[in-house]
Amino acid sequence: MASANDVRVRFAPSPTGRLHVGNVRTALFNWLFARQRGGRFILRIEDTDLERSRPEYERHIYEDLKWLGLTWDEGPDVGGPYGPYRQSERLQLYREAADRLLQSGRAYRCFCTPEELDAERQRAKAQGLPYVYSGRCRRLTSDEVALKLNQKKPFTVRFRVEPGLITWTDLVRGRVEWQAELLGDFVIMKSDGWPVYNFAVVIDDMAMKITHVIRGDGHLPNTPRQIVLYRALGGSPPQFGHLSTILGPDGTKLSKRHGATSIGEFRERGYLPEALFNFLALLGWSPAGGSEILSREELIGQFSLDRVVKAPAIFDVGKLNWMNRHYLRQMDRERLIDLAARYLVKANRLEDGPLDDATRRWLGLVLDAVITHLDTLAQVVEETEIVFEYDLDRASQSEEVRQTLEDEGALQVIEALREELADVSEVTVEAFQRATRAVKERTGRKGRALFHPIRIALTGRPSGPELVKLIPIYEMGSRLNLPAPIPSVSHRLDAFLQYATHWRRRGR
């Protein structure tokens, strides 16, 4: 009986593109299962598709998994007892296994040309039948084979499938049955001497002592093929669990349209790895308690394949945004500052390079003011325009700003405020509040009639974060060394009054 520590699962991506929601959900479920059972999580790179595999995609796979914290115990980069972990480096093993099957008669060489096979396929199609290889080369005598080999005829190696019922108990779907006759004698080695996916996977899963194969249900038709190969090779199949498809909320195949992109793109857009981790874990699985915000540790503790559902999982980007907001709001402040700074540097709001203490402290205030408006970190650029941009020409395109420019009473408020602050060297929140109280008395205006013109004059916008949050941001910001200077409160009041004079003289 295997002990819990023997659990060995693998994530086996092909480096033919960036990792997407589906692949990474598979990686995550394998990882959670391994971590929970104290097992091993193995990364195997399936690069037998020579034309489509690229080393840079392999690099991205490492980066994306690391970013999500899906660390592996064995893999091409870290090694392990059953390496190499890249299929292109394991060709010898596949060839030897194919030879063994040829010798025992469980496999045979097929010399059918692509044209002949195509003709078979067309015939099946014309009769409305699913295509199954006719088995023509099964019947070749050893002399015929020797002759063709002598003539250097190209050949594939096919597995001889015995009729019967293939069954397994799927960890997600329960009992699955497959009629072997529907498989036909399938190819295991191509004519170029490379294995097909189904063959390489079985050789590797056996050699790497994989106990559980958890993967997407797109692989369901491969499983009966793999099971018969295991048996022919004298191994016992691992346990299989096929995860349901992921669909968009409209029930159609998941795509970019639903906001599902590559993991790299989620990262660039400013999703936090802990949010994506939590979100992906709930794609097809739910905890017994029903709560949705779960830390990495809670997920490891609670995950179980029993609660993985057969029904398609729905990818809802709104829910992902909600989770991301949650994690953004509770994240460590210094980390938030560092991550947000990257977006602001890219937008040329901040200088590149390490932030000095004053800028860090200031950025912390900026983030406090806008954090509740952010779904993702990338939105920090747009949401902080109110901090970095003060452009009255642009502002005056808004009707509300124009009304203020034309409202005598509103301008009196700004003038009075300017006077109250004339001798204040740094406008603190207290100084601002004192000054607005005085303005209230002087002008008789209160509430919105008082504060709306002040907001418009200071920010150039009719709405935004609370003024008491913006005041210190403007004041401190005006003393920092930024790519574009930030005007202080007094500068803003002056600029607005000047602009208003100009505006009125010129006529709107």
Neighbours of 446 (CB within 10 A): 12
Place of tokens 């980390």: 335
CA geometry: angle at 355 spanning 353 and 356, to 5°? 130
CB 365 within 8 A of CB 371: no
> In angstroms, what is the minimal distance from the CB of 77 to ligand GLU?
18
Pairwise CA distance, residues 173 & 167, whole Å: 12
Residues in the chain: 508
Phi, psi of 301 (to 5 degrees): -65, -35
CB 237 within 8 A of CB 226: yes
Q: State the number of binding residues for ligand GLU (CB under 6 A).
A: 7
3-state secondary structure of 170: strand
Of the candidates 153, 256, 310, 446, the residue annotated as catalytic is 256
Q: Which is nearer to ligand GLU, 57 or 108 (CB)?
A: 57
Q: Which is nearer to ligand GLU, 12 or 305 (CB)?
A: 12
One residue of 7, 8, 9, 13 binding ligand GLU per CB under 6 A: 13
3-state secondary structure of 243: strand
Q: Which is nearer to ligand GLU, 34 or 201 (CB)?
A: 201
Selected range binding ligand GLU among 9-17, 304-312, 435-443, 454-462, rule: CB under 6 A: 9-17
Q: Which is nearer to ligand GLU, 47 or 383 (CB)?
A: 47
Site for ligand GLU in 86-115 (CB under 6 A): none
What does 400-453 look like in DSSP terms, one character per residue?
A: HHHHHHH-HHHHHHHHHHHHHTTT-SS--HHHHHHHHHHHHHHH---HHHHHHH
Selected range binding ligand GLU among 10-18, 105-113, 265-273, 442-450, rule: CB under 6 A: 10-18
Q: Which is nearer to ligand GLU, 204 or 383 (CB)?
A: 204
> In angstroms, what is the minimal distance from the CB of 343 to ligand GLU?
32
Residue 242 CB partners (closer than 8 Å, separation 6+): 170, 172, 173, 215, 216, 217, 219, 220, 223
CA 269 to chain centre: 10
Residue 290 CB partners (closer than 8 Å, separation 6+): none
Q: Do you find a cis peptide bond into 84, omega within 30 degrees of 0?
A: yes
- 46 in contact with ligand GLU (CB under 6 A): yes
Q: Which is nearer to ligand GLU, 106 or 212 (CB)?
A: 212
The 195-234 site mask, x for binding ligand GLU (CB under 6 A), equals ------x-------------x---x---------------
For the question of residue 256 being annotated catalytic, the response is yes
Q: Which is nearer to ligand GLU, 225 or 418 (CB)?
A: 225
Phi, psi of 157 (to 5 degrees): -110, 130
Pairwise CA distance, residues 157 & 107, whole Å: 7
Site for ligand GLU in 442-501 (CB under 6 A): none
Q: What share of the chain is helix, strand, coil (3-state, %, to 5)?
A: 55, 10, 35
Q: Which is nearer to ligand GLU, 46 or 375 (CB)?
A: 46
> In angstroms, what is the minimal distance from the CB of 181 to ligand GLU?
24
The 126-165 site mask, x for binding ligand GLU (CB under 6 A), equals ----------------------------------------
Neighbours of 359 (CB within 10 A): 20
Site for ligand GLU in 400-429 (CB under 6 A): none
CA 444 to chain centre: 56
Buried b (16+ CB within 10 A) or exposed e, 143-165: eebeebeeeeeebbbbbbbeeee
3-state secondary structure of 156: strand
Q: Which is nearer to ligand GLU, 285 or 496 (CB)?
A: 285
Selected range binding ligand GLU among 6-14, 59-67, 304-312, 406-414, rule: CB under 6 A: 6-14
CA 315 to chain centre: 12
Pairwise CA distance, residues 369 & 384, whole Å: 9
- List residues near ligand GLU by CB under 6 A: 12-14, 46, 201, 215, 219
List the catalytic residues: 256
